[in-house]
Amino acid sequence: MTAQQSRTADADSETDAILSVQDLRKSFGGITAVDGVSFEIEPGSITGLIGPNGAGKSTTFNLISGAYTPDSGTIVFDGTDITGYRPDRVATRGLVRSFQIARELPEMSVLENVMLAPQHQLGETLYRSVLPGFRSGVETQERELRERAWETLEFFEIDHLATENAGNLSGGQRKLLEMARVLMTDPEMILLDEPLAGVNPTLEQKLIERLHELKADGYTFLFVEHDMDIVMNNCDPIIVMHQGQKLAEGAPETIKEDDRVLEAYLGGEVEQ
């Protein structure tokens, strides 16, 4: 059984949430950005996290990914309490995030960017890189990583850009590259922070199609996006935040008919 088949089987058989956020709170000075937020994410889902500007979505993402430490509350991922973990420890557990602004290494090629993503590479250890008795293992792993990198670039249809410096890519191409890098870490769950912002319609559709293919393979997504049509057509369930709190949660049809959600969007404030 491949890693993806195993992931799909786990998602099909597992009934418990892969991510559980309970009573999460975070303040900055006298401003409460996240105020007692609780929700659970089921494995193999694309869950939308929406809300007007100032709702606390970005802060919630930063708390889950380890960029911020919560004042109180718990974050449990795949059965492990990761509350207060550093971002690298969160990623090592299999919970990886993308960023609203892609963070590629501009002077390196697209292929090199993707090959750098996996953790714990043998070539990162000095003695394995230079001593003859250990070099063969490094070379074997590099060949395997290169093959995976090419397959991942082909999956996102940017393999024709493999030798191009990442800094020369368009905004949409950079989003595809970032997703490719995320996928190379072999995550269990991916946090997507406005992955379609600044992406032209053709690349937007391509990225959405890839997300659904990955979902079918058992990957789990928490998806922050301002385009309501995209969220309503691709996410289920949807969590709505307002003024740092969870306002509503449910299927797209339920959210569309919730008067509180409409009122919140008409009275939004500035994002924390």
pLDDT for residue 263 is more than 90: no
Q: Which candidate, 32, 93, 45, 3, places its Cα nearest to that of 212?
A: 45
Confidence class for position 14, pLDDT limits 50, 70, 90: very low
Amino acid letter, residue 169: L
Q: Where residue 34 falls among pLDDT bands split at 50, 70, 90?
A: very high
- Residue 127 has a pLDDT of 44
Where are the domains positioned within the chain?
Answer: 3-104+188-266, 107-168
Q: To which CATH superfamily is domain 3-104+188-266 assigned?
A: P-loop containing nucleotide triphosphate hydrolases (3.40.50.300)
CB neighbours of 198 closer than 8 A, spacing ≥ 6? 171, 172, 175
For 87-120, the pLDDT digits (tens) are 989 998 999 988 654 578 888 999 999 988 776 5
User: In angstroms, rounded to a whole number, what is the distance separating the alpha carbons of residues 266 and 263?
Assistant: 5
Of the listed ranges 121-130, 184-193, 214-223, 259-268, the least confidently predicted one is 121-130
Q: In this structure, how many other beta carbons lie within 10 angstroms of the beta carbon of residue 94? A: 18
Position 270 scores a pLDDT of: 35
Query: What's 160's DSSP letter?
Result: G
Exposed / middle / buried, residue 162 (Cβ in 10 Å: 0-12, 13-18, 19+): middle
Q: Report the alpha-carbon distance of residue 249 to residue 96 in Å, rounded.
A: 23
pLDDT of 80 over the 50 cut: yes
What digits encode the pLDDT tens for the residues 212-255? 999 999 999 999 988 888 999 999 999 999 999 999 999 999 99
pLDDT at 267: 55
Dmax over Cα atoms in the chain, in whole Å? 68
Lowest mean pLDDT among 30-39, 80-89, 164-173, 239-248: 164-173
**CA angle, residues 195, 201, 207, in degrees to nearest 5:** 40
Beta bridge partners of 238: 48, 250
Nearest to 50 by CA among 234, 213, 189: 234
pLDDT-derived band at 145, boundaries 50, 70, 90: confident
Contact 181, 113 (CB under 8 A): yes
